[in-house]
Structure 1
Amino acid sequence: MALSVAIGSGTATAQAVAPAAATSAPASSSTAALADIPLAAADAAAPSVPSAAGAWGGERTGQEATLSDRVVSYQIDAELDAAKHAVSGKERMTWRNRSDRPVARVYFHLYLNAFQNEASTWFTERNVLTAHGRSRGAAALKKGEWGWIDLRQVRQGESSLKWRFVHPDGGPAADQTVVCIDLAEPVAAGATLTLDIDFLSQLPRVVERTGWFGDFNLVGQWFPKIGVLELPGERGASVPRWNAHEFHFNSEFYADFGQYDVRLTVPSDYAVGAVGEQQGAPQTANGKTTYHFMQGDVHDFAWVAARGYKTLDGHWQGPGSPKVALKVLYPAEYAGSAPGQLKASTDSLDYFSKTLGAYPYRTLTVVVPPYNANEAGGMEYPTFFTTEGYTKVEAGTISQFASDFVTIHEFGHGYFYGILASNEFEEPMLDEGMNQYWDDRMLRERGEPLTLASGWTKRLGITPAATGFELDRLGAGLRQPPDPLGENAWDRLSSSSYGTVYSRTSTAMHDLEERLGTPVLERAMHEYYRRWRFRHPSSADLRATLIDVSGNAKAVNQIFDQYVYGTQHVDDRVSSIDTDEVLPQAGSSMKDGKRAEVVASDLDKQIDRQREAWAKAHPGAKPGSGPFPWRSTVTVRRDGAPVPQLLRVTFADGSSEDVQWNDDRRWARFVFTRPAKVASATLDPQQKVYLDANKLNDSLSTKADGAASRRWSADAASLLQVFYALVGSL
């Protein structure tokens, strides 16, 4: 995904602009008299209070009739005009009012309107963000390449309804990505609403996430989609509220679980892939083919239609999961990467089902966009995702790592965005960040680092490599993070700051795993999945689960307070090493009731004799040892937030001693009196504290050695370039 900043954050009041062409009489007076249900605030972000136990219908036990508490259903008949890249659709949406009060108006997302002109919230934010950091989605649309959704008619029973565009986040008046529809009759508490909607979706030329290029059509966020009515005790809500934010440059999506029943008609020479299971054989007539897909217990539906595409099939089954039919759809130029993407997908099914919980669906469709449609790659939907294509994938090279990583990452969204269904508008950390962390763990278990290997580097013997966690640390912006990880997707200093949602979350969770221990962390994540699958957890719910399972509230709260809800940083360093030989001292002292005086000149001769005798007795002794003990003082400094640290002190005779520094002091001194003096001191010798912004000052030696600094700096420079290129593709 891309990167974000606050643009005109306003109140949560919906601001109406000129209504779209609508039909029928105004809403009834009884509807108008009902109190409005407010919209989520424009600055909504990660809540700090856990959700109620009964949120979203309570924990799913597996004994219910359906996997999720289905709130909405969509029946859609759609036809692709391949020449115009336009989809005409008829949608019947049925929605259940879960609240305790009647609902007089509903809010829908019209996501494609973000691409209808440069006055939308999406384009307005992009113009600022691309000037302040790296970003994907930077393509310029030309004449005939814009995209939109036109509502042609909305009916409630026999009544045609009016609608108007609103701006929940105070975005530009021209933005039309959220529409408010006034109902002819309110929906009573616990009752259902059925709307019949005729619409036309014009796909944009691929600029980000969705659209067309040539004969390729990725159809995502293409239909009118109802917002989420959150109830008290759900994600920090204290009263019922509509959660329906504008489509921001960096934000993604949030929707209720439900049932999708979709018929897609396309030219007969086009290949089709979609969310869910295909129902029966396609029906062909007059050069057109209709495909029927159904999927329950998901919260979105996307599809692809492309001419000249090929298919690679596979199957997978794991404990507790149904048999899964896999399909990779790819263009001929990327045939070389399809087998690897199929393998990465099956490996991901193995890993995620083992470490989080069973994969509950029967299909998984992987789409490789064609050359020149890269921005359609790296996008996720339930049971369906897009990855990146490569003409040639060589084992042990950047091409293999990149292909595997993007495929694993987009599959992982099927858990964190799909099954756990976090709010990507307000808490991108729960999806992008937690997914990135789990992907890095999978790559670690696979033993698959990024190797900057090529023919000439191998000949020179230069093959720097880094694990996923090391790459994320390089790009995490640890020195001066401007935004908390728990901030929403659009209130960000820059696109680069948004990008750290991926890398800084992964780094923070890496360090939390080190503090809790891997077995404990894994049990906690299993429990998080069990409690919150098919619901909508918040960051506070994740924190509560981690505390409940680990019993270590201090460690968990430290990470969440400092990084999820705060902007602290870590930078501990070894400040100095001072060593003194503990020699006999001249002067007067009382011994056995008599005062005696040691003369300095006599003492010097005595010390010399002792040194000579010791040297003869220890001919191979290392410098820094001798007949007299040494007092060494190691001073450590803390220039950021406190973090548990291990200090390893190595002495001149080769021995070492470990000391724990686990308090809130800004500095500390550790004194050692040993036969040998301190030769070096190192904080975090096992390299567990990835959040430390500067690892080069973690150690100090009494003898200067710049080799480590030169090596870390050179590797960091080269790997960082690759990291940014990779993150930009997600």
Structure 2
Amino acid sequence: MTSKIRIQRWAVGLALASTCVLVATAQVKTAAPVTAPIADVVVDDSAVDDIGFAPANGTAVTVPSAENAWGGARTGTEATLSDRVVTYKIQATLDPKKHTIDGKQQLTWRNRSDRPVKAVYLHLYLNAFEGPGSTFNTEMRNNRFGFRSGVQVEEGGFGYSRLQRVAQNGAKVPWKYVQPDGGPSTDRTVVRLDLPEAVAPGGETTIDMDFFNQLPRVSARTGYYGTFHLVGQWFPKIGVLELPGERGATAPRWNVHEFHLHSEFFADYGLYDVSLTVPKDYTVGATGEEQGAPVEKNGMVTRRFVQGDVHDFAWTADNRYAKPLDGVYNGANGPVKVRVLYHPEYANNAEPVLKATIDSLTYFSKTLGDYPYKTVTAVVPPYNADEAGGMEYPTFFTASSYKDVREGRLERYLLDFVTIHEFGHGYFYGIIGSNEFEEPWLDEGLNEYWDHRQLVAAKQHATAQTAFTRLIGFDIGLGEFEQQRLGAMLSKPADPLGNTSWDRMSSGSYGTVYSRTATMMHDIEQQVGKDALERAFKLYYARWKFRHPSSADFREALAEGTGQRALIEKTFAEQVYGTRKVDDSIAEFSSDEILPQPGIVEYKGKPVEITQEQIDKAVDGVREKWKKAHPKAKENEGAASMGAFPYATRIVVRRDGAVVANTVLVRFEDGTSRTLRMSDTGDKRWARWRLVTRSKAVSVELDPERRVFLDRDKIDDSRTLEADGSASRRWSADLAALFQSFLALLVSV
């Protein structure tokens, strides 16, 4: 899912992606759809039932879902992988010259609630691209939000979707555009259907509809460029009726948000049976498995694709695709057919994408759970269609494309990463069914984290480091998660991770959904251990696959799986539900000899004053004797010798943010060291130690094992008594990583 035109989305947070503002006065010149006039559709508002909407700006869910939510956990003994709610039978014909789609859809929907439903709601996502009045474009313009690569829609490049006919059991169904989130009245991405016949509790209804789409010039995950067509968010999709005990709902409610700028999608699981008609020289790739042989008629070919237990369907068609590159992953559920579609100019991208996809199938199946479907289709977008890249749908995703992807080059690493990332969404967005509208961190963030774990496990980051070192001319040593923290807005996090995708201060703040989540999960893993963390994720997958978990449901699985409930709840309170920064720093560090002090002492029962002059003479004598006794002792620049007197080392750590478990490593001149531990309980703002040793301390370092990446500034984590270039080297590394992030964004656009 994503605003991801490319890679490491933390680049969005770092570079605050360029603002793209649509020209509100642009003259829209597109082919007029053949559609029923809106005036002919009469809506009786009194017929609408009392089922409300999910909150427009809700926060992350804190109450776990009921055990029987979404039909209960899937055991594998059921007839279907998911508790199917909806069935789509769609016939669609593409006109590749006008870039239009004529569609007929039969939608069968099951009412899971305990009350009659008189009105249902559909998404018409393509209407986000019809002009400046949509919620999507209004947010981009009014909030000055940047989006992906910032491609602006030009004259003739707008898109839209229109209903032409809607009927229930032969009876005409009136409809009305609505704005559940209070967006502009000109937004037409959600439509209400007022059914002539209410759907009884537990009952089903079938709705037939004709629709027409004008695809936009590809600019936001969908559209065309030349003969290339990526068709996503294209069919009228019914909203989700959530029940009490599901994702925080206390009464039946429609989860059917407008198409916001940074939001993506949420839908019920069901069965898709889609027939696609295109010119016979066009290659088609789509969600699901192709059924039977293509049917040719009048220069057009119809291909039928079927896939159950998914919650979306996307496809592509082009007459410039080269011969597809096919491969097979042999998994626990049988062979998975992997297909890569690409254009001749990017033929060298096909093999890396195939390999990365199969590698991802292996890694995700091993660390989360077995892949349940029979196909995966990956699309390498053509030149000048970058906005089609970096997007995921069930069993179908788009990667990126680069000119030179030889081993050892940065572009190869980026291509691998995007492929892994988009495939990974097939788990967190697809199989687990996270709500990308309301809790995007459960998909974008957790997926980002798991993708980088795969790269670390495969040691692929070394390739990127070598390539980047060659590019900038000097060596840096940043790991996957050290990069992530740089775009995580750690100094002043503006929004809790669990906020909705659109209720955010800025595009940069939305970008932290990726990087700050990955950083937070890195720190959790460092504290609970790799095995416990993976055990928790496997539990999460097993419990919530083919359902729709909330933040609270993930929290419970993580707490149970790791056995560290206090840590998990504390971290969620501070990062998922709150905006507590982490900021530990070395405030004071000194190491001085402990010498006698002037004053009154008792000597033979009488008070005697010891003067500074007497002390200095005595100290010189002791030093001389010690030096003679230790002729090979290292000279200490700050004293006559080392070791004649003990040293007192004083360390103060300042805590300006959330309390985290941390360690302090003190190194001494004789090569020894001592580790001090800071508690993760209480709310004390500082910690102080005084160490008495025979050797002088030379340095002190917070978090020596690099476990706390949420810390806003690692530069203030260490001090030395003498001048040391290590801090400046760390600062240079941070700058280099910042440049790397920015470069990644540039490469993507």
| TM-score (ref. length: structure 2) | 0.91
The answer on whether the counterparts of 2:86 and 2:271 sit within 8 Å (CA) in structure 1 is: yes
Aligned to 1:317: 330
CA distance change for structure 1 residues 280 and 438 in 2, over 3 Å: closer, same or farther? Answer: same
Give the counterpart of 1:214 among 216, 220, 226: 226
Aligned to 2:51: 37
Measured in 2, the distance between the counterparts of 1:376 and 1:456 equals 26
Deviation, 1:530, is: 0.5
Deviation, 1:715, is: 2.9
The CA deviation string for residues 259-310 of structure 1, in whole angstroms up to 9 with x for no partner, is 0000000011111000000101211222111111000000000000011202
The answer on whether the counterparts of 1:450 and 1:468 sit within 8 Å (CA) in structure 2 is: no
Measured in 2, the distance between the counterparts of 1:127 and 1:726 equals 25
Deviation, 1:718, is: 3.3
The CA deviation string for residues 629-675 of structure 1, in whole angstroms up to 9 with x for no partner, is 11111111011111111001111222110010114311111100010
Measured in 1, the distance between the counterparts of 2:611 and 2:507 equals 72
Aligned to 1:117: 131
CA distance change for structure 1 residues 346 and 189 in 2, over 3 Å: closer, same or farther? Answer: same
> Matched residue of 1:279: which SS?
strand
> Matched residue of 1:396: which SS?
coil
Aligned to 1:628: 645
Aligned to 1:71: 85
Deviation, 1:161, is: 0.7
Give the counterpart of 1:559 among 553, 571, 575: 571
**Structure 1 residue ranges without an equivalent (≥5):** 6-18
Aligned to 1:682: 701
Deviation, 1:450, is: 6.7
Structure 1 residue identity aligned to 2:710 = L
The answer on whether the counterparts of 1:401 and 1:450 sit within 8 Å (CA) in structure 2 is: no
Structure 1 residue identity aligned to 2:729 = R
The answer on whether the counterparts of 1:322 and 1:361 sit within 8 Å (CA) in structure 2 is: no
The answer on whether the counterparts of 2:537 and 2:561 sit within 8 Å (CA) in structure 1 is: no
Match runs of 1:133-152 below 5 Å: 134-152=146-164
Deviation, 1:720, is: 1.9
Tell me how many residue pairs correspond in the alignment. 711
The answer on whether the counterparts of 1:115 and 1:148 sit within 8 Å (CA) in structure 2 is: yes
The answer on whether the counterparts of 2:147 and 2:261 sit within 8 Å (CA) in structure 1 is: no
The answer on whether the counterparts of 2:718 and 2:727 sit within 8 Å (CA) in structure 1 is: no
Give the counterpart of 1:348 among 355, 360, 367: 360
Deviation, 1:48, is: 0.8
Measured in 2, the distance between the counterparts of 1:473 and 1:328 equals 33
The answer on whether the counterparts of 1:25 and 1:161 sit within 8 Å (CA) in structure 2 is: no
Give the counterpart of 2:260 among 245, 248, 251: 248
Measured in 2, the distance between the counterparts of 1:275 and 1:211 equals 17
Measured in 1, the distance between the counterparts of 2:480 and 2:626 equals 52
**Structure 2 residue ranges without an equivalent (≥5):** 4-11, 20-35
The CA deviation string for residues 433-491 of structure 1, in whole angstroms up to 9 with x for no partner, is 01000011111101122766789963985243533212111111110011111000111
Give the counterpart of 1:604 among 616, 622, 625: 616
Measured in 2, the distance between the counterparts of 1:495 and 1:253 equals 18
Match runs of 1:327-342 below 5 Å: 327-342=339-354
Worse-matched range after superposition: 391-400 or 640-649: 391-400
The CA deviation string for residues 134-174 of structure 1, in whole angstroms up to 9 with x for no partner, is 53152222332111111000000110111000001111111
Residue 734 of structure 2 is aligned to residue 723 of structure 1: no
> Matched residue of 2:262: which SS?
coil
Structure 2 residue identity aligned to 1:374 = D
CA distance change for structure 1 residues 291 and 22 in 2, over 3 Å: closer, same or farther? Answer: farther
Worse-matched range after superposition: 709-718 or 473-482: 709-718
Measured in 2, the distance between the counterparts of 1:533 and 1:622 equals 66
Deviation, 1:578, is: 2.5
Worse-matched range after superposition: 144-153 or 217-226: 144-153
Measured in 2, the distance between the counterparts of 1:453 and 1:440 equals 14
Aligned to 2:656: 639
The answer on whether the counterparts of 1:525 and 1:546 sit within 8 Å (CA) in structure 2 is: yes
Residue 272 of structure 2 is aligned to residue 260 of structure 1: yes
CA distance change for structure 1 residues 62 and 217 in 2, over 3 Å: closer, same or farther? Answer: same
CA distance change for structure 1 residues 500 and 607 in 2, over 3 Å: closer, same or farther? Answer: same
Aligned to 1:9: none
Identity %: 51
Match runs of 1:232-311 below 5 Å: 232-310=244-322, 311=324
Aligned to 2:30: none
Match runs of 1:453-492 below 5 Å: 458=470, 462-464=474-476, 466-492=478-504
The answer on whether the counterparts of 1:449 and 1:465 sit within 8 Å (CA) in structure 2 is: no
Aligned to 2:33: none
The answer on whether the counterparts of 1:650 and 1:681 sit within 8 Å (CA) in structure 2 is: yes
Measured in 2, the distance between the counterparts of 1:716 and 1:205 equals 38
Measured in 1, the distance between the counterparts of 2:262 and 2:74 equals 31
The answer on whether the counterparts of 1:450 and 1:466 sit within 8 Å (CA) in structure 2 is: no
Measured in 2, the distance between the counterparts of 1:332 and 1:178 equals 39
The answer on whether the counterparts of 2:43 and 2:175 sit within 8 Å (CA) in structure 1 is: no
Deviation, 1:518, is: 1.2
Structure 2 residue identity aligned to 1:349 = L
Residue 685 of structure 2 is aligned to residue 671 of structure 1: no
Worse-matched range after superposition: 65-74 or 282-291: 282-291
The answer on whether the counterparts of 2:409 and 2:467 sit within 8 Å (CA) in structure 1 is: no
Aligned to 2:22: none
Aligned to 2:69: 55
Measured in 2, the distance between the counterparts of 1:46 and 1:334 equals 41
Deviation, 1:599, is: 5.1
Aligned to 2:118: 104
Residue 38 of structure 2 is aligned to residue 21 of structure 1: yes
> Matched residue of 1:282: which SS?
strand
Deviation, 1:244, is: 0.3
Aligned to 1:710: 728
Measured in 1, the distance between the counterparts of 2:305 and 2:170 equals 28
CA distance change for structure 1 residues 217 and 505 in 2, over 3 Å: closer, same or farther? Answer: same
The answer on whether the counterparts of 1:71 and 1:258 sit within 8 Å (CA) in structure 2 is: yes
Aligned to 1:200: 212
Measured in 1, the distance between the counterparts of 2:647 and 2:310 equals 68
Residue 530 of structure 2 is aligned to residue 518 of structure 1: yes
Residue 549 of structure 2 is aligned to residue 531 of structure 1: no
> Matched residue of 2:372: which SS?
coil
Aligned to 1:652: 669
Deviation, 1:34, is: 6.4
> Matched residue of 1:676: which SS?
coil
Measured in 1, the distance between the counterparts of 2:578 and 2:704 equals 27
Give the counterpart of 2:515 among 500, 503, 506: 503
Deviation, 1:410, is: 0.2
Worse-matched range after superposition: 464-473 or 654-663: 464-473
Deviation, 1:689, is: 0.6
Residue 203 of structure 2 is aligned to residue 184 of structure 1: no
Deviation, 1:709, is: 3.1
The CA deviation string for residues 228-276 of structure 1, in whole angstroms up to 9 with x for no partner, is 0000000000000000000000000000000000000001111100000
Worse-matched range after superposition: 221-230 or 391-400: 391-400
The answer on whether the counterparts of 1:429 and 1:486 sit within 8 Å (CA) in structure 2 is: yes
Structure 2 residue identity aligned to 1:314 = G
Aligned to 2:95: 81
Worse-matched range after superposition: 306-315 or 39-48: 39-48
Measured in 2, the distance between the counterparts of 1:456 and 1:35 equals 59
The alignment yields a C-alpha RMSD, in angstroms, of: 2.2
The answer on whether the counterparts of 2:410 and 2:467 sit within 8 Å (CA) in structure 1 is: no
